[in-house]
A and B are shown apart, each in its own frame.
Chain A
Amino acid sequence: MMFDPLVIVSNLLDPMTLLLMAIAVTFGIIMGAVPGLTGTLGLALMTPFTFGMEPHVALLMLGAVYGGAEYGGAIPAILINTPGTASALCTTFDGYPMAKKGQAQKALYAALIGSVAGGVFGTFCLIFLSIPLAALAMKFGAAEQFWLCIFALTIIASLSAGNVLKGLVGAILGLLLACIGMDPVTGHPRFTFNTLELLSGISVVPALIGLFAIPQAFLLLKPAGQTAVAPYIKRPGVFWQTVKESIKHYKDIMIGNIVGIVVGIMPGVGGNIATFIAYNESKRFSKHPEKFGTGVIEGVLSPETCNNTMVGGAQIPLLSLGIPGSAPAAVLLGAMMVHGLKPGFKLFTEQGNTTFTYMFGLLVTNILVLILGFLLIRVFVKVLQIPQRTLIAAILTLAIVGSYAINNSGMDVLSMGAMGLVGYVLLRFKFGVAPMALGLILGETLEEGFKLSLHLGAAKGNVLLYFFSKPASVVIIILTVLSLGYSLYCEYKKSKPKSGAAKEEPEFDEV
């Protein structure tokens, strides 16, 4: 057995852990509910608070923020027709019309039920799929490790930035940042500009805080606009009525589950694409597709189930292979590394109790989302009225304090500050920050795999053969080439039709 059930149960039933998880869920829902703030930002800001904690408690808190934020995004989507997170964009299509019809409470409960159903399904998939995948990864050697990192970087670079070359530039810059400091083998300084401060390299978590939190704070500096909040009228019995209706629409929940898990496992695809697919599939399978967009419960259930299923889905490659499936999962990976947890099969064997406490704890997280989402709904509605100036000041303060608290290092604060400015520039010019963040996170593993492969290849007499001959390596290389080729082809196709007015894609500022 990989874990001791008694330890897991005692970990999960610890009142302090439950209290911290409840706080983290509330924090996550608020981060999701405030337009402009995101789950990734929530995770980046929460990470420094977890350093003094046991690894399982820290992971549970971060998982709770992640899960809570995905639900929270639906609240402004329903009440003010503005998605709190990118993945809640589809929820506006039917959620807001429902709210305008005086059914805000029902729409919010539908989002809650869909989110919890998705979260639970995603967690079960995480539990059952990550172990076999990690067992497969156990057979990987240094060359496969190297190619796997390359695959993750290219797929995220090509999918998340919207422009393959820009994404690749971001990923390479991240890898170069990871090279800063003393070379782990020769001990020779690289890219240190003859300064002592850079000898120990760039700390991952402060850099992630800078990349994800600071640009988000700057993006909140829009001129104040009028937001019309749809009326929220509380009526008794609506919850159970919504539960019954949701059960009746189990097909839409299942569609959200399947799309969420498939897309969630694929690194970099993103929640907004997944929820669009889920919404469209629900519409296609519906007996009355013409009613979609007018305020039907299926239009809320399907995308909300989908985006919460992705929370579990994105963590399958994260825990088993060390490849995050989404930006929040990338921050989670950074936090795991700080807590001494290295993804892979050993995570399930040597640190089984921590890992399985976390995975089963995600089920508890979903129960907490259900309870808190039900009880505190009025509070979360009020959150929409927090002034932007307060949010910006809070984000900047927490980012500076958090980045110092990680290692008690002034250099971390300076690197966070610089990364924040770099992140804003990257975001504005459509490079995206996720490829750079992933490059920084995976840099060390990639170089380790590269150097080890060089040595092993040299020992076996042929370096090139060692890199390119193993079956698993060949499969990963083919996948890398295919994904990169496909992205380049799509980009080429997109740039082709020059006649007529260029079709503008809807833009959603999210780091």
Chain B
Amino acid sequence: MKEMHVNIGAGIVVCLLALFLNGQLDGVPIEGLIMPRALLILLALCGVGMALQALVQRQQNRLEFFGDLDIKNFLGVIAIYVVSVVCCLYVSFYLTMFLMCLGVTTFLSEKKTKRVMAVNVLFSAGSLVFIYLFFTWLMNITFPEPLFA
């Protein structure tokens, strides 16, 4: 995408966001209202400014969402990450962390030989042991385990 189009789009999104967030301030007393409302006005002005600047300067540089990243790997890792963030809280923290580590390392391994898989499993298990020893055993932090509760 051309930078001009990205900036115009971003300017519009920013203005809409400011409008939407403004609705969240209904009923807030004046003292708590001034600062966020001023910020929202500034945000909308910046959004308009960005769009106008893009139109005037007609920036031709290209901005790519994926850039030089491997798209398949990127989408795969994003999916694993999002699922892990949710599952670690509502399923099992330790199990999710193990599966996330294993999932990411396996998904990104070019060759899935037995040796590579063994290294991945060992790395994931080692990470889990480290988390347990440092956070749970040493720092007394209990992670959520709804599945095993």
Q: Which of A's residues lie within 8 Å of B, judged by CB?
A: 49, 51-52, 165-166, 168-169, 172-173, 175-176, 179, 183, 185-186, 188, 190-193, 214, 217-219, 221-224, 388-390, 392-394, 396-397, 400-401, 404-405, 408, 410, 413-414, 416-417, 420-421, 425, 428-431, 446-447, 450-451, 454, 495, 502, 509
Taking the closest CB of chain A, its distance from the CB of B108, in whole angstroms, is: 4
Q: CB distance A183 to B32 under 8 Å?
A: yes
Is A172 a contact of B46 with CB atoms below 8 Å?
Answer: yes
Interface contact A190-B28, CB-CB below 8 Å: yes
CB closest residue in chain A, given B1: A429
User: Is A396 in contact with B84, judged by CB distance below 8 angstroms?
Assistant: yes
The residue of chain A having its C-beta at the shortest distance from the C-beta of B97 within the complex is: A397
Contacts of B84 in A (CB 8 A): 396, 400
Whether A401 contacts B135 by the Cβ 8 Å rule is yes
Ordered by A's residue number, 15 sampled pairs between the chains whose C-beta atoms are within 8 Å are A52-B138, A166-B50, A169-B50, A176-B40, A183-B28, A186-B32, A190-B25, A222-B70, A389-B108, A393-B105, A400-B97, A410-B89, A428-B64, A447-B35, A454-B31
Q: Judge whether B123 and A390 touch: CB under 8 Å.
A: yes
The answer on a CB contact under 8 Å between B108 and A188 is no
B12, CB-defined interface residue at 8 Å? no
Q: Is A405 within 8 A of B105, CB to CB?
A: no
Task: Classify the secondary structure of B's interface with A.
Answer: helix
* Complex interface: chain A residues within 8 A of B46 (CB): 165, 168-169, 172
CB-based contact B135/A502 at 8 Å: no
Q: B104 touching A389 by the CB < 8 A rule?
A: yes
B61 beta carbon closer than 8 Å to chain A: yes
Task: Write out the residue numbers on chain A whose beta carbons fall within 8 Å of the beta carbon of B31.
Answer: 183, 185-186, 451, 454
User: How many angstroms from the CA of A495 to the CA of B81 in the assembled complex?
Assistant: 39
A414 lies within 8 A of B69 (CB): no
| Chain B residues, CB < 8 A from A401 | 97, 131, 135, 143
B interface residues, tally (CB under 8 Å): 69
In the bound complex, residues from chain B placing their C-beta under 8 Å from that of A188 are: 27-29, 32
- Measured in the bound complex, the distance between the Cα atoms of B32 and A192 in whole Å is 14
Using a CB–CB distance below 8 Å, which chain B residues touch chain A?
Answer: 3, 6-7, 10, 14, 21, 24-25, 27-29, 31-32, 34-36, 39-40, 42-43, 46-47, 49-50, 53, 57, 59-61, 63-65, 67-70, 73-74, 77-78, 81-82, 84-86, 88-89, 93, 97, 100-101, 104-105, 107-110, 123-124, 127, 131, 134-135, 138-139, 141-144
Chain A residues with CB under 8 Å of B104's CB are 389, 392-393, 396
Question: Which residue from chain B places its CB closest to the CB of A157 in the assembled complex?
Answer: B46
Whether A428 contacts B67 in the complex (CB less than 8 A), given A165-B50, A186-B28, A390-B123, comes out as: yes
Contacts of A218 in B (CB 8 A): 69, 74, 77-78
Complex contacts, A175 vs chain B, CB 8 Å: 39
- Among residues of A, the one whose C-beta sits closest to the C-beta of B21 is A191
The CA-CA distance from A405 to B136 in the complex, in Å, is 9
Query: How many Å lie between the Cα of A214 and that of B67 in the bound state?
Result: 16
In the complex, are the beta carbons of B78 and A169 less than 8 A apart? no
Residues of chain B with a CB closer than 8 A to A49's CB: 134
Closest to A395 in B: B104
Given contacts A397-B100, A404-B88, A421-B82, 12 further A-B contacts (CB under 8 A): A52-B138, A166-B10, A169-B50, A172-B43, A183-B28, A185-B31, A188-B27, A188-B29, A214-B81, A218-B74, A222-B69, A401-B131
Complex CA gap A300/B14 in Å reads 44
Minimum distance in angstroms from A197 CB to a CB of chain B = 11
Q: How far is the CB of B64 from chain A (nearest CB, A)?
A: 8
